[in-house]
Amino acid sequence: MRAKIRVALASSFIAGTLLVARAAAIVAAGHSGSVAGPQEGANPPSNLKIERSEEAKAVARSVRTRPMHGTVNVFLANRNGLVAVTDSRLSNGTDHEDTGRKLFQIDDHTICSIAGWYSDAGPVIKGDDARSAAYPAYLSVPDIMWAVTSDHTFSSLDIDRKMEVLSEAFAFSLLASANWDVAAGVSRPLSALKVTSEITVAGFDEHGMLKILQADLEPMIKDAQIVQYIAEQKPAVYVTEESGLVSVVRGIPGTAQSILSGSYPGMADDPILGYFKTALASDKGKSLSLTDMRQVAKEIVRRTSQQFPQSVGGRMQIAELSAGRVSEFVQPISGTPQIPRAIFRRVEDSAFRGALAGLIHVTPPQVIFAQKLNLLDGPQSLDNIFFFKSDFARVALTYSGSPRAIFDKSNTVVDSTLTLLPGADPNSNFVRQIKADFPTLKVIDQSGAPRR
């Protein structure tokens, strides 16, 4: 069954720090489905500096001309285990660099590869700290993976749920990058917007069975802008004791498909491919060892690179899975997180009444993820808190303009008010989203900000 996970997120939440913070919050939320916000506008929050000067726009466009796409991700598996090999090349068709991290070990039992993300670099972004370095948005890919997998609860999820969480996190991040484009004044032709990003997760399920999951993140386009990503999950691929060779190829599949079908020219004359073809004919690849599959996967990547040298190449990233765990992981592409990481703590399944309601308080850079709370008859700030699936009755809400704030439509609000304090922008997407989602909420503007 093909499952669709719809992700439509408000651009008001999109910031360098919040992109990673949101990915972590998705893990904490433990939910799938739609996290919705208004689709109009793409205004970055106050702590995201994307200058609109002609010089800044030129910088953003120069980032767009850097190498950004082209890959092949190869997964081969049988009863002996699984091998995954990816390349590391980023290309724009005329130039390339071999710095793309495309394979990730997300825990002791699971790996993940990505293809297509690097096709949307995003403009140069910069945090609110004047000393912080500017960097193109595509460098956030390892940060998103870190934000998701570093949560201690992530490894306890089953493999299907891991895929859902990763799909939602990356869909949010892709939408963030698209909104950064708009904010920086970078426009792209419609054909360039219609780029599918691919996520592949391989690992062992709760029964110890090896499983390969695939999701395609498809952009939805309105008025020449990406307004939403839909994660379409393909049927799971299982590897059993009776399985012959099982293969999944992502990115550029042509060369791989030819080799895997045994129809690639000259296979019999090549020691690696000749042996592989014989194994396919004799037992459908059941007898192939991890070493055999690794050699074949590397040969597929190498020959794909020969055919598409501008798009595929560089050092190979390799993972092996066997005996219920990731037995080897080779990642030659170094990288350190670029986006400042917020400090998260969680409050959930609790009730607060009267003055106690205001005790949910946080001091930056800390961010609270709040879920399934009951807040009654008291004050509560929205700053630096992500509220999901919580009930508010007769609560005096306040907001001072923090960009680290989420008030999801999964909340319920009864007989409450929201006071906008100095620092809050009454015209921000965050405030507009709250007004749209909670029309009975009385909003009191004490921000002093000019109305537009």
State the helix-helix crossing angle for 141-149 and 159-184, rounded to 10 degrees.
Answer: 140
CB atoms within 10 A of CB 94: 8
Structure tokens at 18: 């919040």
Of 388, 452, 445, 437, nearest in space to 417 by CA: 445
DSSP 8-class letter at 364:
T
CB atoms within 10 A of CB 376: 17
According to DSSP, the residues that pair with 248 across neighbouring strands are 75
* Separation of alpha carbons 116 and 293, rounded Å: 25
Evaluate the omega torsion of the peptide bond into residue 365 and state whether it is cis, within 30 degrees of 0: yes
* Separation of alpha carbons 391 and 358, rounded Å: 14
Q: List the domains of the chain with CATH numbers.
A: 3-330 (3.60.20.10), 343-445 (no CATH)
DSSP 8-class letter at 245:
-
CB atoms within 10 A of CB 361: 12
What amino acid occupies position 372?
K
pTM (two decimals): 0.67
Instruction: Report the SS3 class of residue 249.
Output: strand
pLDDT, tens digit only, all 452 positions of the chain:
333 333 322 222 233 344 444 555 555 554 333 332 322 222 333 333 333 344 434 434 443 333 345 689 999 999 999 999 999 988 765 667 788 889 999 899 999 999 876 544 444 444 444 444 444 444 456 666 766 676 666 788 899 989 988 887 787 777 766 766 665 566 677 777 788 889 999 999 999 999 999 999 998 888 888 888 888 999 999 999 998 999 999 999 999 999 999 999 999 999 999 999 999 999 999 999 999 999 999 999 999 999 999 889 999 999 999 999 999 999 998 764 444 444 556 677 788 887 655 667 776 656 777 888 899 998 999 988 888 889 999 999 999 988 778 888 889 999 999 999 999 999 888 898 899 999 999 999 999 887 66
* Separation of alpha carbons 301 and 297, rounded Å: 6
CA pseudo-torsion sign 161, 167, 170, 175: negative
